[in-house]
Amino acid sequence: MKENKKENLVWIIFVILGAIFLIIGLVLFKNIFDYQNKVDTIGIITEITTFQNDNHEVYVSYTVDGKEYNSELDGYISDFYEGKEIKIYYDKNDPTEIGMKSLDLLFLIFPGMGLIFFIIGVIGILVKINKKNLEKKLKERGELIYANYNGTVLNTLYRVNGQNPYNIICEWSDPLNNKRIFKSKNIWINPAKIIEEKNIKQFPVYIDNNNKKKYFVDVDILNEKMGNLK
């Protein structure tokens, strides 16, 4: 069966979004966490304005070289209240620019989320590549057997864009009459009707003789009917 393009796209999107968040995070880290030109001081919250969408504007009063400033703080913490003293910093070159180191830590969310998204995407891509390589290896070196078709099941543990894939279930008995159950890879269109129309009773299965847990159910026989449908 051909690959589901949406499934592949999901992992690519994860990698791209992860890279974007990482870059944004690194830029913010470089700009925000450079404290060389910033001076610590104490400020007093003079006003907190709350909007309907739960956004807040926080204004802080502080003194620099005998001159009093009242500037907006870029951020809000739930325990803020008017009249509260807080530790802030101001920029040497522009005292109206202020910040708070504890609020700066929130910007670490960007590189953190970026790293998580990037790792998930890379792992997803690597898993698919590994599966493809395993299928190729098993076709070249594995033992070929034919397993009886048992039915088609919906894989409720996996979903892409609100859609669950299907798995073909097969059964085979070895020379000692030990039964084994095999499950195909994800198929993104219900193959039951095609299997019935083509009267398919068995599917080829390639097994790794060195590790019986490694196998590959070959469903290429369905390609003729199912084509590129997704």
Q: Which domains does the chain have, with CATH numbers?
A: 8-110 (2.40.50), 142-226 (2.40.50)
Mean pLDDT of 159-188: 89
| Rounded mean pLDDT, 171-185 | 89
Model pTM score: 0.60
Q: Which distant-in-sequence residues (6+ apart) come within 8 Å of 168 by Cβ?
A: 149, 151, 152, 183, 184, 187, 191, 195, 203, 217, 219
Q: SS3 for 8?
A: helix
Per-residue confidence band for 218, with pLDDT thresholds at 50, 70 and 90:
very high
Best-predicted range by mean pLDDT (94-98, 108-112, 186-190): 94-98
In the chain, the amino acid numbered 210 is N
- Answer with the residue of higher pLDDT: 109 or 98: 98
CB 153 within 8 A of CB 164: no
The maximal CA–CA distance of the chain, rounded, in angstroms, is 94
Cβ burial of 48 (10 Å; 0-12, 13-18, 19+) is middle
Would you mind telling me the total number of residues written for the chain in this entry?
230
Mean pLDDT to the nearest integer, 110-136: 90
Per-residue pLDDT, 220: 87
- Distance (Å, whole) CA 83 – CA 96: 19
Q: What are phi and psi for residue 109, nearest 5 degrees?
A: -60, -40
CB 88 within 8 A of CB 41: yes
Query: How far apart are alpha carbons 63 and 70 in whole angstroms?
Result: 9
Which residue in the block uniquely carries the two structure tokens 């709350």? 50
